[in-house]
Chains A and B, each alone.
Chain A
Amino acid sequence: MAESWRANGPGRILTGAEISRDYEERADACVIGSGAGGATMAARLAEMGARVVLLEEGGLYTRDDFDMQEATAYPRLYQEAGQRATADLAIAVLQGRCVGGGTTVNWTTSFRTPDRVLEHWRSAHGVEGLDPATLAPHFDAVEQRLEIREWPPAQANANNRVLWDGCGKLGWKRAPTRRNVSGCANLGYCGMGCPIDAKRSMDVTYVPDAVKRGAHLYANTRAVRIDLHRKRASLVRAEVLEPGTDRPKGHTVLVKPKVVVLCGGAINSPALLLRSGLDFNGRIGRRTFLHPVVASVAAFRQRIDGFYGAPQSITSHQFADRGPGKLGFFLETAPVHPMLAATSAGGFGAAHQEVMARLGHVCALIGITIDGFLPGEEGGTVSLRKDGRARLDYKLRPQHWEALREANKALARIQLAAGADTVWSLHEDPVVLRGEADLAKLDRAPWRPVRVALFTAHQMGGCAMGKDPDKSVVSSKLRHHQVDNLFVADGSVFPTSLGVNPQETIFALAHWAAGHIGHNLR
């Protein structure tokens, strides 16, 4: 660890509930967002001796607040109270908004970045210096701090066992996942905040690490603009929100930093740059990727209790590479809580009720498509609405629909092979399958926007890194191409999607980038 070059004052945490005046801070680094990227960045910079101010628009919650109720968790802990989606509502966007960001509510699956992805970023996007060897020590460090370890298949819940058994029967690849947990009681409520602090999410690891080293955390505090002065980011303006209602309290936090590190996540980071007028080449918000997800639900004679147990512990990468011209996809599971299941299941009325009535016997599998690697594939676009809110458009092309359809078939086959008596697609006219012979029905189903429920829990891109300042937003060092002291360190810098769950890549990228960002502060 580098030696401190400056004595930090005591760290502190202020939330919207306590703030009753304006604040002005001078800081070495203003980190915007306390999720996977922001918390890791703040902790590392503080450890190197920097005076850090960390701004988070969401609230600060601790284990006693996590009541395992969907009715409280989604409004409190997710973007747009759990209602975020693409502009046409075709893809529901699950994204965190609280201290810890997505990590507070995510399902703990942890992968290192696949080597082939880093190689693609190098060859297709001119990303320099981000190779497996460079990142390895950073993966090691975050894996140690976040206790990322393989979850024994013997502890997989019945929902994940369907994926394991089904892949086994079909002779497909399958593997246990690694998870960032310690003392996990297999409760199944990762998506609503861990009530026993077993998940090593940012709110219980790097955020407190940063505060212990002197960082100032402002929760319920939204950065609204980054001001430039002589081509440098000179001021971050933030407004304080009332917890609960999210209405501005009329107080501001102004931060005058040496560097700004933007870590608001995909969608929100590009939106803030757009609001700040920092789009010099029309690239901000472009190349937004979502790992679009299709799901399949199936009922079994035996109970599955998919609402209990670690939500994700098995994965299959059988179809991750389907050759040129096709999107690959990988297969995982989703927890089966009543609200999430009901808002996702196809149809309405008696047919929908039939699925819900069997919820305790229902298995939910997901197919995660790997977007952003096809030639000419540009992904979605983040722009600003008239009232300043972020708008996300994502046009699914024929290749996407093909992959979603094939993924749905693969999921149904797994469920049938594992002994499901009925499988339902998530179409508004659900396709019902009772055997392999019914698979062709999925080919005939309408694969069009808002005819079938789709999701994303992995938002990436929008501030793509790359070599060419005309085609990307930040350099390979994550520095904004036109603004010297502005960095972006979150999922928005990926030039493509990832092909694996993204959190660990974001931790490692931020951990790595903090080295040179902190070094330059001296």
Chain B
Amino acid sequence: MPGELESRRSFIRKGIVGTALLVAGGGVWVGTRRTRPDPAIRGPLQVLTPEEATVILAVADRLVPPRRGFPRPVEVEVPRKVDAIVAMAQPAVRHELRQLIGLFESSLAGLVLDGLPGTFSGASPEAQDRRLRDWATSRIEVRRTGFRALKKLVYAAYYASPETWPAVGYPGPPTGGGRR
């Protein structure tokens, strides 16, 4: 496992700095300052900025990589659906989620935590997978928590969409028959 091989010193450094970053959050907008909004993002969005929605789409593109039969996340409007889920949350939760998106995207956090300079959305697919994996299996619990939050949002938005059901062999709810 990648995270397990780190030297103790680097773990401590990342632990302290990483936690400080997570706690400070750097303000909601800092993380996405360098993000180039994806023109494929279609509004209107209720809570997320086009930059934040771009990060979500970039994450979704790696959580659901291209595979025959599986629609691309943009086709089932994952960013707009994630935005709708975030909009349902309490204000404090909304704020935390936006901080998380910013931190995940941020080039500074990427440099300190993963040694990967540059934004998440601007990175190559391989580098993106590495950052996702580093977060998913990190020794720092808050990063694993952050990964889980992003993963659940994206997969909920994607697989609750009927357009994805043929790919997984789900015929959908029974029609007629059962209903009185």
Question: Which residue numbers of A lie inside 8 Å of B, CB to CB?
Answer: 63, 67-71, 74-75, 80-83, 88-90, 185, 187, 189, 195-197, 246, 307-308, 337-339, 341-343, 347-350, 352-353, 356-361, 385-387, 389, 428-429, 446, 449-451
Contacts and interface: CB of A to CB of B under 8 A. Distances in A.
A212 B87 CA distance: 37
Contacts of A75: 85, 88
B137 A342 contact: no
30 contacts: A63-B180, A67-B173, A69-B160, A71-B81, A74-B156, A81-B89, A82-B156, A83-B93, A89-B149, A185-B177, A195-B179, A337-B170, A338-B159, A338-B170, A339-B155, A343-B155, A348-B62, A349-B62, A349-B132, A352-B63, A352-B155, A356-B167, A357-B168, A360-B169, A361-B169, A385-B92, A389-B92, A428-B136, A449-B141, A450-B141
B141 A189 contact: no
B148 A429 contact: no
A360 B170 contact: yes
Nearest to B137: A428
Contacts of B91: 387
Nearest to A345: B155
Given A75-B88, A386-B92, 11 more contacts: A74-B156, A89-B145, A308-B174, A342-B155, A347-B136, A349-B62, A349-B64, A358-B169, A450-B148, A451-B137, A451-B144
A196 B179 contact: yes
Nearest to A88: B145
Interface residues of B, number: 46
B124 to A, nearest CB: 14
Nearest to A67: B173
B159 A353 contact: no
B44 interface: no
Could you tell me the dominant secondary structure of chain B's interface residues?
A: helix
B19 to A, nearest CB: 13
A342 B151 CA distance: 9
Contacts of B178: 185, 187, 195-196
Contacts of A90: 145
Interface of B: 1, 62-65, 67, 69-70, 81, 85, 88-93, 129, 132, 136-137, 141, 144-145, 147-149, 151-152, 155-156, 158-161, 164-165, 167-170, 173-174, 177-180
B89 A338 contact: no
Q: Which 5 A-B pairs have the closest CB atoms?
A: A360-B169, A68-B173, A71-B160, A450-B144, A342-B159
Could you tell me the dominant secondary structure of chain A's interface residues?
A: loop
B160 A348 contact: no
Nearest to A68: B173
B174 to A, nearest CB: 6
A115 B67 CA distance: 53
Contacts of B64: 349, 353
Given A343-B155, A350-B67, A357 B167 contact: yes
A338 B160 contact: yes
A356 B179 CA distance: 28
B159 to A, nearest CB: 4
Contacts of B88: 75, 81, 246
A359 B144 contact: no
Nearest to A350: B65
Contacts of A352: 63, 155
Nearest to B67: A353
A197 B180 contact: yes
Given A185-B177, A450-B141, A343 B156 contact: yes
Contacts of A185: 177-178
Nearest to A360: B169
B141 A187 contact: no
B15 to A, nearest CB: 15
Given A71-B161, A353-B64, A353-B65, A307 B137 contact: no
A338 B151 contact: no
B65 A70 contact: no
Nearest to A303: B169
Contacts of B1: 429, 446
A232 B175 CA distance: 53
**Residue of B70, B81, B165, B170 with most partner-chain A CB within 10 A:** B170
A188 B154 CA distance: 25
Contacts of B155: 339, 342-343, 352
Contacts of A83: 85, 89, 93, 152
B43 to A, nearest CB: 19
A353 B70 contact: yes
A197 B179 CA distance: 9
A77 to B, nearest CB: 13
A349 B65 contact: yes
B164 A429 contact: no
A74 to B, nearest CB: 8
A456 to B, nearest CB: 15
